[in-house]
Amino acid sequence: MSEIIRFDGVHKTFGDGPRAVHAVDDVTLTIGEGEIFGVIGYSGAGKSTLVRLINGLEPVTSGTLVVDGAEVSALGEKRLRSVRADIGMIFQQFNLFPSKTVAENVAYPLRVAGWDKARRDARVAELLDFVGLRDKAQVRPNKLSGGQKQRVGIARALAREPKILLADESTSALDPETTRDVLGLLRRVNAELGLTIVVITHEMDVVKYLCERVAVMERGRVVELGAVYDVFSRPQQEATRRFVGTSLRDRPSPEVLSRLAASHAGHLVTVGIQEDTGSSARLMRTLGEHRVDGAIVYGGITEIGERPFGSLTLALTGERAAIHQALAELRSFTDVQEYPELEELR
């Protein structure tokens, strides 16, 4: 896969001196042509600034940024306009013109670009068919649902046949069902039109459903980078672990652990479930071979690209030596967390 976006030691700083804000701090990464790439982070992590660097709305302070072969970090405003023509943008709050119809909103960038009316009309009709809103062409945005408004936003972003689509928190204002519909449309955009899509979000479920690779940002820096499954099934950084925890909620809190310990006599452990674990069946088979019973008392398992990951908390009963042997074998192919503090309370 050839690269279409490359950050090489990129910094973006606002202000000077001790009050300077390092919104993007020494970021190095590449995004492949035709890839769906996610950038995830909490508020203030630098995600949106990263997007504004890609389309040249903010200048790079230092480092090199190349977009579709053009070194954006070295271009003047005139050259930047030609680069932006190949980049579409969709927004959290849709940014539609309330006084214009759906068709007029989609046609707006074509009008600015100087397309003649016949060509504009044909392109608008094609795009509204693609996003499933042909029958809404003459409707104004205030008559549309949130999901329909975002579909209009996607159609408008695609109007000038861009190579790159930037989606900045594009589903944050939508309910879960509508979010899934919009993400499904973005998958179609990628699969059928071949666009590179960069998804900026604070929602792990969006990355999990849509993206192939992900960068986790914290305080302007990329703290983890890789395939979505690898990053979230084996998180190395606390920021990534928080995202996994808030989305999956597969590991019990200290309060829940205390309640579980009070209601279950067994030895409590939490065991990771990942693709190479061979599913929970391998877990139970291992326990059975050591004559250890394991009652599932907490947990959660989800999928990324039809590959499972998550964890199960079990109350193990059996001979103490057999439990230790079973846990040693489990550790050979997955992560195991024990809770010695609970044993001390018993």
At residue 64, what are phi and psi to the nearest 5 degrees?
-120, 130
As a whole number, mean pLDDT of residues 97-108 equals 95
pLDDT value for 104: 96
Residue 71 has pLDDT above 80, yes or no: yes
Which residues of 72-135 form beta strands (DSSP E)?
A: 87-91
Same domain, residue pair 137 and 21:
yes
> Are 330 and 314 contacting, i.e. CB atoms less than 8 angstroms apart?
no
Instruction: Name the domain boundary from 225, 244, 263.
Output: 244
Bridge partners (DSSP) of residue 217 are 222
- Percentage of residues of the chain with pLDDT beyond 70: 97
Residue 276 has pLDDT above 70, yes or no: no
Same domain, residue pair 229 and 272:
no
pLDDT value for 301: 84
pLDDT value for 346: 52
Same domain, residue pair 39 and 164:
yes
pLDDT value for 277: 57
Over the stretch 54-64, which tens digit does the pLDDT of each residue have?
988 889 999 99
Instruction: Name the domain boundary from 197, 229, 244.
Output: 244
Q: How many domains does the chain have?
A: 2
Range of the domain at 273: 249-345
pLDDT value for 199: 95
Which of the four pLDDT bands, split at 50, 70 and 90, describes residue 279?
low
pLDDT value for 112: 92
* Residue 16: DSSP 8-state: S
Residue 344 has pLDDT above 80, yes or no: no
Same domain, residue pair 226 and 258:
no
Over the stretch 111-145, which tens digit does the pLDDT of each residue have?
999 999 999 999 999 999 999 999 999 999 999 99
pLDDT value for 89: 92
User: How does 153-169 read in b/e, with b if 16+ C-beta sit within 10 Å?
Assistant: bbbbbbbbebbbbbbbb
As a whole number, mean pLDDT of residues 34-42 equals 95
Which of the four pLDDT bands, split at 50, 70 and 90, describes residue 278?
low
Enter the pTM of the model.
Answer: 0.85
Same domain, residue pair 107 and 153:
yes
Same domain, residue pair 7 and 111:
yes
Instruction: Name the domain boundary from 244, 269, 291.
Output: 244
Over the stretch 188-241, which tens digit does the pLDDT of each residue have?
999 999 999 999 999 888 998 899 999 999 999 999 999 998 888 888 888 888
The domain that contains 312 carries what CATH number? 3.30.70.260
Same domain, residue pair 101 and 181:
yes
Same domain, residue pair 206 and 76:
yes
Dist. CA 141–CA 233, nearest whole Å:
40
* Residue carrying structure tokens 């539609």: 96
Per-chain mean pLDDT for the chain = 90
Least trusted range by pLDDT, from 31-35, 239-243, 287-291, 339-343: 339-343
Same domain, residue pair 84 and 193:
yes
The domain that contains 125 carries what CATH number? 3.40.50.300
Tokens of 206: 């969006």
> Are 166 and 87 contacting, i.e. CB atoms less than 8 angstroms apart?
yes
As a whole number, mean pLDDT of residues 290-311 equals 86
Residue 342 has pLDDT above 80, yes or no: no
Dist. CA 50–CA 44, nearest whole Å:
11
- Percentage of residues of the chain with pLDDT beyond 90: 60
**Listed ranges 88-97, 142-151, 229-238, 278-287; the one with the highest mean pLDDT:** 142-151
Dist. CA 135–CA 130, nearest whole Å:
12
Same domain, residue pair 179 and 78:
yes
Same domain, residue pair 207 and 236:
yes
Residue 312 has pLDDT above 70, yes or no: yes
Name 243's Cβ contacts closer than 8 Å, sequence gap at least 6.
Answer: 40, 204, 216, 232, 235
> Are 4 and 164 contacting, i.e. CB atoms less than 8 angstroms apart?
yes
Same domain, residue pair 12 and 145:
yes
Which of the four pLDDT bands, split at 50, 70 and 90, describes residue 87?
very high
pLDDT value for 128: 96
Closest CA to 9 of 32, 26, 31, 34: 26
